[in-house]
Amino acid sequence: MSKATSTAQAAAAAVDHSAHPLPSYLEADNLGPWGNYLQQVDRVIPHLGSLARWAETLKRPKRILIVDVPIHMDDGTVAHFEGYRVQHNVSRGPGKGGVRFHQDVTLSEVMALSAWMSVKNAAVNVPYGGAKGGIRVDPKKLSRGELERMTRRYTSEIGIIIGPNKDIPAPDVNTNDQIMAWMMDTYSMNTGSTSTGVVTGKPVDLGGSLGRREATGRGVFTVGVEAANHIGLEISGSRIAVQGFGNVGGVAGKLFAEAGARIVAVQDHGGTIYREAGLDVPSLLKHVEENGSVGGFPESEVIASDSFWDVECDILIPAALEQQINASNAGRIKARMIIEGANGPTTPAADDILQERNILVLPDVIANAGGVTVSYFEWVQDFSSFFWDEDEINARLVKIMKHAFAAVWAVSQDQKVSLRTATFIVACKRILHTRELRGLYP
């Protein structure tokens, strides 16, 4: 046993969980995304050296806010929705993370997403902590007026903890630049001055950044190409399957297709389509824009949704929701590489199966960090009131993503661990080193 390992184990053992029990909603036994995150943290603790004494910091969100969001509906009734904003860690800077509107949003999910944002921001070394928000609602059932009233009320309710130097929301599932515009305006009205920096992912005319919409997909493509180079996978001619074909999966699919890859299968909420010769990606993107899903796309074969995991491909890009790759389907995947465009799409049990099968997994906390990286650019531009052109933004994004991937790859090779564990090692050391330097107050 190495000295570093023994030191880490001793530090970890020094945390007496019986004396300092976790609240029930923080325990790993509380199944769901938060439980998955805690398992990921446990795997990295032996690699933290003396910083392991601070590891409990990673298992306890700094602040959890649950809010009631009442609004007047168009029919004159009053409806109540439950909203969340979780700040996992702010040692390295303001909280940063998206807001999702979805009928299946839970506290466990939002907590895990906020924690993954802490790791993601540290992995690409932008000066943010991690946060996340959400409302349990199906936004498709709301009129535009109801959606605006809900967004504004939610913003007012969480306004006590957000701000351009405190916590900066952004778009996520079922939210977009218009939602961010309403959030920015509501916060600005409540504080008495225009505050463009309170959210990112805004319309360009309100201080948004060029390249923001495509940033996450571009980041997925960038790290995918870097990883492919390391394992000898030629992108041109490779077969790619994509789950989710929106801002992340659609943009990544488009960039891979432009590089000569064949997008052979796509799945979203509207169906699963397949074409061995490769789908016409520009036409498919137009079809999704006009119809809301890939369902009904011509010149493709419709296959059963569960058959998506059996598609022969070189690269699989899960870009939908959490826990899509699990113990029941990980053994069926026929890909050399998985690039996680979504947050938390692979369970720890599936990770083990994929590693045993020598399938390289590029984890979400590095692969989909392009979005928050350009959000950082937007925030910087808002503060300076000086805006960059799209070529400069894309060049800066690619540079940061390549540098971050290189650091993670080096740790993975040096310590013989998966890319996920390597990313956690890099990120958690940065978070906990900052925690140690700042100390505890009072």
> CA dist 31 to 52, 59, 108, 164, Å?
24, 15, 8, 33
70, 78 contact by CB (below 8 A): yes
- Cα separation of 349 and 363, whole Å? 14
> Is 132 one of the annotated active-site residues of the chain?
yes
Contacts of 418 (CB under 8 A, 6+ apart): 351, 355, 361, 363, 412
Beta carbons within 8 Å of 69's beta carbon, 6+ residues apart: 80, 81, 82, 83, 135, 150, 153, 154, 157
Only one residue has tokens 């052979």, namely: 264
**Burial profile 52-78: b = 16 or more Cβ within 10 angstroms, e = fewer:** bbbbbbbbebbebbebebebeeeeeee
Query: Do the bridges between strand 337-339 and strand 271-274 make them parallel or antiparallel, or are there none, so unpaired?
Result: unpaired
Q: Rg of the chain over CA atoms, in angstroms?
A: 21
Sign of CA dihedral 103, 318, 343, 380: negative
> Which phi and psi (to 5°) does residue 97 adopt?
170, 160
Q: Which of 132, 334, 399, 402 is catalytic?
A: 132
Nearest Cα to Cα of residue 135 among 163, 173, 166: 173
Q: Which two tokens stand for residue 196?
A: 């463009």
Active site residues: 132
